[in-house]
Chains A and B, each alone.
Chain A
Amino acid sequence: MQPKKILLVEDEALIADLYSYALKAAGYDVKVANDGLAGLKFLEEEKFDLLLLDIMLPGMNGLEMLREWKSKHTGESILVIMLTNLGQDAVIKEGFALGAAGYLIKASYTPEQVVKEIENALAGGKAGTPNPTTAG
């Protein structure tokens, strides 16, 4: 069985390494992009099973990147989990409106818990909806 491919779009090196490590240890094939443009390039070149998307990125933010991808690929679907430390209502709503399967606030989860949510999403379920009071 081919390992599932995950694209992680994250600009903070420590955090990118953290999740990259945890996901690889759980048996996934992980590619890391450090900004929106690099992420889009990856998506054009390779097929991924899941996109883990940070929002605060240099230049094009995560939501803009997702919207850009969607406008170039009308009708196609992509499994996305927002993985961010932003939690504003409007941002969460926008993420789900763009079709995200889940929204996780990084600081509220251990890497192990994140891996569990990812497994959930890959199996077709939802992956986290932040608490509206405390998220942001």
Chain B
Amino acid sequence: MLNSYPQDQPEILFPEIVKLRNNPPKKEEVKPSLAPVEEAPKEKPLGQTPKLLNYSSSTNKLFMKIVAVVLLTTIASIFSILFLQSAGVVVWIIPILASGLVMASVRYFLSPLRKITEGVNLFSRKEFDHRIEVDTKDEFGSIASELNDMARQLNGHTEKVSEDKDILVSQKNRLDLIFSSLSDGVIVLDLNNRIILANSSTENLTGYTKEELVGQKIEDIISLVDKDAQVVNFKDLSFTKTDDTVNLIGKNKGSHPVKVICKNISGENSLDLGCILILTDRTSQKELESIQLDFVSMASHELRTPLTSVIGYLSIFLKENNSVLSDHQKDFLNRIFIAAQQLGSIIDNLLSVSKVERGALSLSAAPLDWRALLEKVVKETQLQAAQKNITLSLKLPQGELPKISGDEIRLTEVLNNLIANAINYSGSGGTIEVGCRVEGEEIITSVKDTGIGIPPDAMAHLFTKFFRVSGALDKSSNSKGTGLGLYISRSIVELHHGRIWAESELNKGSIFYFSLPTQS
């Protein structure tokens, strides 16, 4: 027990104890007056010098007092008896008086016990302000003063703990407030990728509430995909790069463009903290980019607005009055309708050209089944050809065609444009043949017509902007006769690393070719 006193104890105070500590004591070696110290608790606040030194001197004080009283009383009684013996007074009153005196004294000496009991009671009810008023110079006095000290200390500790708790609570509240005010989403994961913390901005970005997020493994409820719809592991996103926006797929497959930074939390593993994810919303940035319209975009939007009304109201009018209009009237109104649609096409083409000029015409390349694509386009344009009594056919080589990579929608547009031109520049009863052949590392597709042909001086300008062969269009043609179609087709083909060209003979017909590289 004595060996377990703390190392840094002031030797000054307890020379006896230090001596004993260095030579493990045998019972007979311990100074009798120190015997009670053996029972002293380890945590005894050893700074209280006076009291502890008093320990050795206050033990047995009570006993000594009682012994003193008894001895004195006995001696006084003996003397009284001897003295009064000669006087002949009744002798047995003396012992009675003596016992009475002793009892009264003992009771007096033990009276502090009541105050101590009272005090301890109050202390146990946490009334640490109370002071046990016992100042006798005996064991009771020591106990009382020790208890008072202890109460004062407990009081101090309790107050301090309460203060500390208040500070902690207010700090936590501040941190909570800061955490939820962050405009970026913050998710804290444990070492098993389970979500421990998430702030309010995370709720907005993911669509989940905090309750739905906490406790879940992040990969079970949230996924990150890049622009090619490939899943991204957030652990790979630890470095800030300029263009690392990914799509966060949250609740109900809701998607949100975000920039994600993942930072590992280093430190004690016992805290079970894995990493922090910071999610920055990229939506408004993207929108700013997009709604910043250039002049052509703004102009085409403005042009389309009244056009919508023209096409719309005319269409409804024709439908509602079909039965009451004469054929002549219907014919005129239909021409207006067609002209309005042509206007729409012109606007579309202007936008396309603007894109080409800006270099903003983007392709999304994918492996294409060229045979299937040709078949589809020819099938869809049959009706248009049939309206002019033109035969449209498809002639494909035997066997499988090599693979091509390209943008299906835009290549379809090219074909549609070439076929539409063929229809528009052919008279009734003509034929159009769509075909292709493999030549080296290319597939060459052709659209051949038996139309009016192209004058030689026009050939050089064919694929430029706004060029139109003059006067050739039929009044009823519903074509994209803007002079922009070939220019756009050329741009698309050349973006695919292909070439486009034409051969023609006046009044015989024309053949338009374009090549596309095959995938080796």
Q: Taking beta carbons and an 8 Å cutoff, which residues of A are in contact with B?
A: 12, 14-15, 18-19, 21-22, 56, 61, 63-64, 67, 70-71, 74-75, 77, 85-91, 93-94, 97, 99, 105-108, 110-112, 131-136
Contacts and interface: CB of A to CB of B under 8 A. Distances in A.
A61 B290 CA distance: 12
A86 B291 CA distance: 9
B270 interface: no
Given A74-B204, A107-B307, A133-B352, A89 B362 contact: yes
A22 B319 CA distance: 11
A133 B290 contact: no
Given A74-B204, A89-B362, A107-B347, A133 B492 contact: yes
Given A75-B252, A110-B311, 20 more contacts: A12-B305, A14-B306, A61-B291, A63-B287, A75-B251, A85-B301, A86-B297, A88-B290, A89-B290, A91-B290, A91-B291, A94-B287, A97-B256, A105-B304, A106-B304, A107-B311, A107-B344, A107-B347, A133-B410, A134-B349
A75 B209 contact: yes
Contacts of B306: 14
A22 B316 contact: yes
A18 B204 contact: no
Contacts of A70: 254
A134 B204 contact: no
B338 to A, nearest CB: 13
Interface residues of B, number: 48
Interface string B279-320: 000010011011101000100110011111101110110010
Nearest to A95: B290
Contacts of B297: 86, 88, 136
Contact of B254 (A99, A111, A131): A99
18 contacts: A14-B306, A14-B309, A15-B312, A18-B313, A63-B291, A64-B287, A88-B297, A89-B362, A90-B286, A90-B290, A91-B291, A93-B286, A94-B287, A107-B347, A112-B315, A131-B348, A135-B348, A136-B300
Contacts of B510: none
B409 interface: yes
A21 B316 contact: yes
Contacts of B311: 107, 110
B99 to A, nearest CB: 90
A88 B293 contact: yes
A74 B348 contact: no
Contact of B305 (A15, A61, A74): A15
B413 A133 contact: yes
Contacts of A89: 290, 362
Contact of B316 (A90, A111, A133): A111
Contacts of B286: 90, 93-94
Given A15-B308, A56-B301, A97-B256, A131 B207 contact: no
B263 to A, nearest CB: 26
A134 B482 CA distance: 13
A105 B348 CA distance: 11
B308 A87 contact: no
Contacts of A106: 304, 308, 312
B255 interface: yes
B208 interface: yes
Contacts of B421: none
A86 B301 contact: yes
B457 to A, nearest CB: 30
